[in-house]
Structure 1
């Protein structure tokens, strides 16, 4: 083959099946991936097989699949069974989130196989396949765009972890157990509770009559059998997904609207459960179910619903409504995310857990923050005053530090938004929302920095203006971000004498969150839970600014400090290696506009790494000059690089070297850009057809540098960009 793969299209029909053995003789028993589709209703199905003819005959007989009219076959001599299962799974996940087609696929058995060269070869192969599918009009968005979308983050087409599968089995067994009425699944922020809730909903709403169980190994058999038994027992389950928070409920409704077999009406609020009886209610974020405390305008609805269900309004809650209106209920719960007195008490959930009719499972694996449980435990210990043996947080894979300047933190979040997207400012509820009535006024004023609260309350994270505003707990709970910039307000402080965090009730502005609370310790727990929740939103990093001086001084003992303005002058460049944290600094004057004037690297200096980074021996630093990467790397910055030893570079920002530039007016040797390449393949192997070096600049004058033919002869990648120092 001249390529690593090829895609062939044909009609999907009885007549066409006769021709398949003729046209694809060499691949009839070879692993391949296929895509069936029709344009009228935009439905599709993704599959893989080692027996093309038999599989297509099966689909033709299917009442649903025989309505599909177009067949795309994806072939590759590199395919093996594990690889096709992996590519099939990725296509299902990304095509579903792409949003153009509604997939007929179920979500049971989404593969997460580990196999030889999965990352080194097959992920690049999948990216190339995706690009060709975009060219064919099958896929619409880039993989990077989809990665940040709600439809991808909350898609039911996920590969569950072993821990999540255990939780799923507990739930299915509960549904089959005549003596069990409640599954209580407890887990902290980022442990995959919402994903499991949505996965389960899709699983129970999918027709699996023609599902090919033979593709999966014996470890899946118990799960498959449990699902079959549940479907046989309940038939078409009357069920709903209950989400207490209106903003997150709206987001998940939009996800359901785009999933085949689901619809937005299946996602409801707690007050809607009183309208009818259910076989099953799945409650996500059940710690936010309410009782009759500080309900404001909701008192009337609460009282009416309690009366309809013959409950004492003063001693009942939305949790009771769930229990009454459903034969079975599944509750996803996290006590540490209960943030106000209207939330059902932890005592009520504990009583429920101890009942003989309740089945309990705990999720502990961290899926959101790259810092993992080490970062989660650090946040919990710091805010719980368990700091006796707490070590300062430092992790080169997860960016988290204190800012001395709020302006600097805002700038850093804006820079991450340009580079990664989904980067937002969040704050504790220490300021009134005055801009709600007067848009000209600022809500949060700290020194010279003036900021607005979120201008909308529903799905704020995804609004166009969110990057210019500050979200609160009510607009961010349940959501994932790439980076979070958290302002810890003056409503909490630190008592250095008694060595404890204290609250200032008068500075806490969430009236519904503090009215009726007489015990300051209870209020403190709610406020601490607010910060635990918002400090665990960032996948790639969390930045912090603390308003109160005593609390800031206390936190400085445990967090690395980001000093005023990220500039190179704060880093001492020396002509000797002063410590194990010193790394080489090369005075290349790398041009971020074009290749710089040639400079030989003879005299190596050294620069000290920040405390949060550990020297691996592979790091080096250079100063970057020019404006063509200024949305990511400001002109004049010192940039940190990791030495390049091989592997895929597509989409990465790289430091590259070449002396074979056709336009010699550009001068010498080095530049930093985003790397993209096109390859050609032959029997002798592959070679670069062209390499494009892509700028990221606010100045549109900068264009890609494209290298071809002889210009590629001495082209070399020196290092991969890590971050700005």
Structure 2
């Protein structure tokens, strides 16, 4: 939205007559953008007076267009000043200028982040060069006029009170400086020449008006960049009910864009793949030309995705798509086609820095035609966390939105086991469950004897190729933040001394190799995962007389997650106590579920340590069910039966004696046995009904460990008909060697590309991919492209579920 426009003489006159601030503010108020503080008004007057000095020279054409405080659609961002015209080839051009009154700037080690005096204190903020060229990038990616008419955009920053270029022009920021140079107090002539280099002739604001009325849509280049992100990144592959949630969300967005506001709530516990669904939705909706953002209240997930996607997506493009939940306070109704909100439980009512808006959930629902919230209420871990299903439903009803709910059931963290999470809920008193032990649960849980042993074991696991880190409850002050090199958490008698993760790493903690020597906290690991996690349980959670007791006062002074507890306690001690108790328990539940394969625990309190050791011993030592266990561990969570004892009334299926390698193929002959002739049968869980074409088989290998843990007993349906596309199947081929077992079979996800048959009738397989879904290195998809290879492939059965 254009707030102020004029040609150069008009701008110079308004500034010279001291009317410029009045004119800008009057237009903002008339257009419903509200007012500004006295300090911001004074900043306009000072900064625009400096720009008057720059533009007075005749080197800048008199008929050049001038715009002030241009608000970029779909954002709360306002561009300080734009000069428009045409270049020496006659191409339309806009020069974007970011104005700063900063006097001193200090460099940091973070990308595009500097320190300066803001709001009465020394703070970190975005580098002005990055700000300027990110605005240009936003217009290039989302304004159809800029895209279709190839309007040239240049950017720069003008720090008219700053003399020392040491900090702001540090070589660390070279990439941003090259895209948008910085001009300082004594550089008005250089800035003047920069503008004149591109604006050779004026356009009397024609370019600005065309941009103002340009259609908002994602560019093809942006869509292509996003699509490239997914190539070769197996962690974003959707399976099972993730795919169902994804397709449901797309349907909801279609309904919304047909005219009625929609809200979809997707519930899912740790490791159910909420973020995988969210990222895939962002990419698909952008590909469909819909204005969409990925939203998270906490920065850690956004920072991790930024680190993982570096090289494919420019930082400016990333920041223009991945947003915080406080972004939409000033947004217009339905200005976004869709907002995909990950970590929805962490939404705040209002952030401490948010000036506008009434409620973040309300603002998000109001701003988008379709809002998709991915949420786990048991991961609310700070006092301001206000995201809940009830809150979403309340604001959706006020917006007259249709609400749909669905649940992600499949567990892909904790070795694919819901059993560990159910046991953890019972252990921590989150909720009662029927999971009293870890019998049959393929997950390693252990209470170690000392913090030193915890650190040593984590380091050994990490060096062996499993991503592992130490994390802790926030019970120790973050001294190392201001005094680098000191230890924050010390146990001298155990030889343990570690610091919290580095300030500059923030959510990139897991991506940094040096973080193996640091301790992560809830703020840096929530929403992330590793193979093994080592958890230090501090004095905020202790056991007394066999019961867990939470102690908010034991939290560190530097931790803000319980800020507000003392104030509420003065008026409502019962509610304050219950709320703090829930946050502390949820924090340890979240920390103890970061490991996909295992969790090691050490408790700083002696009585608590003994209680956790006893509970772990009871869980692990639980008796196994009786029965035969062909070729498998004693922890198989199924009952095996002799064939002679099976009656038609039993919910049982044959156990087929053949090894399916979830690895690759082999030359060895296929060793099959008919289900009818099988001497061992498996009693199925109540969830499944035995069918004549069902059988159970053990799957060995790591290439499908995101879905099928190594050694699992899996239920299959023999000789499946219909399409196999996207399904997990048991297949046979004669030409590829299996490195693990020598079996002639493999289990993989099946994908087929088809082409018209050579005779013009029907179709043929052009390419078949048997895809791995794994966290383990060394496995590759198996691809068949020749007719002979495809013809030799036999699909023997379709995977139904893991049953033990």
Q: Normalization by structure 1: what TM-score?
A: 0.49
- Point out which structure has higher relative CO (alpha carbons under 8 A, 6+ apart): 1
Larger Rg: 2
